[in-house]
Amino acid sequence: MAFECIYRFDSNNLETGISKMPNHSSLSRTWSPMRTICFWIAFSILSALLCSASVGQISITEATDASVVISWHAPGDDGSRGTAAAYDIRYDTVLITSASWNFATSLDDSPVPEVAGTPQSFETDRISSTRTWYFAIKAVDEANNWSVMSNVDSAVAHINLRLEFEEDVDQLSTYTYPNPFQPSETAGVTFANIPDNSNLLVLSISGSVVRRWTGITGGTVIWNGTNQSGNPVASAIYLWFIEGTNIKGKLVVKR
């Protein structure tokens, strides 16, 4: 069916309305100025019903121990044109899907959308280190029509350390043995002379936490060469340090 705008005029009243009529060629012979008005009204309604375009490819461009930076290109409010009204950026420690979207945490300080196609980025500090965080975005237009969910990207927030290991070994109060550590020959590597109530961390070269011990008493920790999840670590050079001190060192694991 097609829609036709009609009007009726007499000396006392002007009435307008919309009537349905079959979609046949006689429709082209019933043009009126009001039809143009009705066309634009219908066009405006359809435009309002168009959902905001989905946010394009998002990516994590930076991650530290306390924040991540998310980047994407702004969508439009009607397809790839215009400007969306708002974003809803959500994060979780498990993979976000369309089904689990409502269970993810929403960032209440999301940025204002830019014109479609504009590169945008946003930094959030709502995370803690040593965990994997997943992020996704939706956009909404002025008619409150939500886009589909963007792709999901993730990052592991890691401790960003700049450690210098040029100190004289004789100056260290805490030391490790054996070093190199070979799990096939020794049950574990010993960290000795650890100050009481200290926290000991073993890190990868990139700064990711491999193993952590807190509130140590007795001055000794024996590490069996596994990560925090209990899985064996790979052969590599690892860094270790006592939190809150300048006590630190290197450890080689050879399998």
Tell me: do 102 and 145 sit in the same domain: yes
Token readout for 225 is 């060469």
Tell me: do 63 and 148 sit in the same domain: yes
Q: Is residue 163 part of a domain?
A: no
Structural domain boundaries, residue 29: 2-49
CA distance 123 to 62: 9
Token readout for 130 is 């040593």
Q: What is the CATH number of the domain that holds 75?
A: 2.60.40.10
Low-confidence stretches of the chain (pLDDT beneath 70): 1-53, 65, 79, 128-130, 157-172
Tell me: do 64 and 146 sit in the same domain: yes
Predicted confidence at residue 142, as pLDDT, reads 87
Predicted confidence at residue 156, as pLDDT, reads 73
What does pTM read for this prediction? 0.47
100, 124, 156 - which closes a domain = 156
Q: Is residue 54 part of a domain?
A: no
**Cα within 13 Å of Cα(180), Cβ side:** 11
Tell me: do 88 and 150 sit in the same domain: yes
Tell me: do 135 and 179 sit in the same domain: no
Predicted confidence at residue 9, as pLDDT, reads 39
Cβ–Cβ < 8 Å for 140, 86: yes
Cβ–Cβ < 8 Å for 54, 139: yes
Predicted confidence at residue 42, as pLDDT, reads 53
238, β-bridge pairs: 251
* Chain segment 174-199, per-residue pLDDT in tens: 888 988 999 988 899 999 999 999 99
Q: What is the CATH number of the domain that holds 217?
A: 2.60.40.3080
Predicted confidence at residue 35, as pLDDT, reads 62
Which residues have a Cβ under 8 Å from the Cβ of 51 and sit 6 or more positions away?
A: 141, 145, 146, 147
Predicted confidence at residue 63, as pLDDT, reads 76
Predicted confidence at residue 39, as pLDDT, reads 54
Q: Is residue 164 part of a domain?
A: no
43 Ramachandran zone, left/alpha/beta (phi>0; psi -120 to 50): alpha
156, 186, 203 - which closes a domain = 156
Tell me: do 96 and 117 sit in the same domain: yes
Tell me: do 146 and 234 sit in the same domain: no
Q: Is residue 162 part of a domain?
A: no
Tell me: do 87 and 150 sit in the same domain: yes
When divided into structural domains, the chain yields a total of 3
Tell me: do 89 and 126 sit in the same domain: yes
User: What DSSP string runs through the chain?
Assistant: -EEEEEEEE-SS-EEEEEEEE--SGGGGG---HHHHHHHHHHHHHHHHHSPBPPP---EEEEE-SS-EEEEEE---SBBTBSB-SEEEEEEESS---TTTGGGSEEPTTPPPP-BTT-EEEEEE----TTSEEEEEEEEE-TT-PBPPP---EEEE----------S-GGG-SSEEESSSB-TTT-S-EEEESPPTTEEEEEE-TTS-EEEEEEEE-SS-EEE-SB-TTSPBPPSEEEEEEETTSS-EEEEEE--
Which residues have a Cβ under 8 Å from the Cβ of 26 and sit 6 or more positions away?
A: none
Token readout for 59 is 């990516």
Tell me: do 28 and 108 sit in the same domain: no
Tell me: do 76 and 99 sit in the same domain: yes
Tell me: do 238 and 182 sit in the same domain: yes
Predicted confidence at residue 7, as pLDDT, reads 38
